[in-house]
Each structure stands twice: as structure tokens, then as C-alpha cells.
Amino acid sequence: MKITIIGASGGTGTQLVRLGLEQGHDVTAVVRDRGRLAVPDHPRLEVAVADPLDARALGPLVEGRDAVLSALSGVCADGATATVRAMHEYGVRRLLVVSAGGAHPGPGDDPFTRYILKPILCQVLRRPYADILRMEDIVRDSGLGWTIVLPPRLTDGSHTGRYRALAGRNILGALSMSRADLAGVMLTLVGEDRYLRQTATVG
């Protein structure tokens, strides 16, 4: 596949670039600073320095791609707005975005996680979570072929290739996963219709 990765120099974005290349994809990595992307040059890697909040800058970088994967953090809603506009302008349909499982207490959580831990997180992280939830609304209303991915707490562990994914409920006991495994999940889901226009909780 030809994929564009937005937020490619972050922890999850870097893993998406690395694993995407390993799996044979043609990767366009969108970064603000090339020096922050800890991935060596590769024949199937295009590194583009661009503002991820600028739809005009993103347009040529998504043109002709099979999918866009966003691992932005901190500016999620504004980034989603720019990405959706660019994808509509250039006729690209498939979009996966990383959200946060901690922002979604609900079915599947054990009682402590659902009624104590996650509500505390929602208070402590209310500003970043508000940005994340706005991003989710923008993606859901986009009319694109979207999937919102909800991981638990992320670590810098290795890629194991073992994961679970569920739609409509959280995963009991899924308290953490590596960014490398999250990248693996996303690269699997991007080629499937199983979670098309759904939120996928992963762990």
C-alpha cells in the first residue's frame, strides 16, 4: 500500500514508519523536523517536512495514497480538521487515527478502572482529553472511511505481534501495550473493512 503517516516523528509515528517499511509499504512520513525522525533513509520512504495543521500543505502529501494514518498528539482536533480537508480535496478515503482508551470508561472495564481510575484520568487530563474527543467527533463526521483506534497506556516495548481488538467495548485487563504493537495493529486494520467507520479498542 501507499500510506501517509502524519505525526511520523513521535513514538507511535516512528514505529508506524519502521514497521510499514518492513511490511513493504510505500511510506510518506510527515514531520515538522526531519532530524527528529529516527528512521534511516529508505528507497520506499519519502520524508516531507510540513505543518500537519495546514490542509494545503498536506494535500500533495496524501494525493494518490491508499490510506492516511495519524499519530498526532497535542493538536489532535486541529490536525484532524486539516487532514480531513486534504483527503476530501484529493479524493483519499481511508483514515486511521490514534485516540486514547483512557478517555473512554465503559463496558469491558473492570469496576475499579471504569468508575475510579478512568474518571480520575479524565479529570487530570481534561484538556488533552477534550482535544482528543473533539478530534474523534471530527473524524466521525468526516464522511471518510475512518477507524478510531483506542489503545491503553503505551510503552516503548518491542513488537510482539500479539494483540486484541474489539468494537463497542473496552478490553478487560488491557492496561498497556507497546507503541510497536499499536503500529502493528494499525497497519493490520488499515487493510481491512472489519472496523470501517468504527472505534476499535486495542490491547
pTM comes to 0.93
CATH number of the domain where residue 172 is located: 3.40.50.720
User: Is the four-CA dihedral 117, 119, 124, 126 of positive or negative sign?
Assistant: positive
Provide the mean pLDDT of the chain: 93
Residue 118 counted as domain residue: no
Which residue from 124, 120, 148 is spatially nearest to 134, judged by alpha carbons?
148
**Per-residue pLDDT tens digits for 105-162:** 888 888 888 888 887 887 888 898 999 999 999 999 999 999 999 999 999 999 998 8
Residue 158 counted as domain residue: yes
**Is residue 43 pLDDT above 90, yes or no?**
yes
**Is residue 103 pLDDT above 90, yes or no?**
no
Residue 14 counted as domain residue: yes
27-39 average pLDDT score: 94
Residue 157 counted as domain residue: yes
Amino acid letter, 145: G
For residue 9, the model assigns a pLDDT of: 95
Domain that includes residue 136, residue range: 2-101+128-202
- Lookup result for grid cell 528507497: 43
**Is residue 73 pLDDT above 90, yes or no?**
no
Residue 72 counted as domain residue: yes
Residue 81 counted as domain residue: yes
| Full DSSP string of 113-131 | IIIIIHHHHHHHTHHHHHH
Q: How far is CA 119 from CA 4, 5, 132, in A?
A: 34, 31, 15
Question: Per the structure, how many domains does the chain have?
Answer: 1
Residue 117 counted as domain residue: no
Residue-wise burial string across 11-35, b where 16 or more C-beta atoms lie within 10 A, e elsewhere: bbbbbbbbbbbeeebbbbbbbeeee
Which neighbouring-strand residues pair with 201? Answer: 150, 166
- Please give the grid coordinates belonging to residue 160: 510482539
**Is residue 169 pLDDT above 90, yes or no?**
no
Residue 111 counted as domain residue: no
- Separation of alpha carbons 151 and 182, rounded Å: 7
91-104 average pLDDT score: 94
45-71 average pLDDT score: 97
Which runs of E-coded beta strand occur in the chain?
A: 2-6, 26-31, 45-49, 67-70, 94-98, 145-150, 153-155, 165-167, 176-178, 198-202
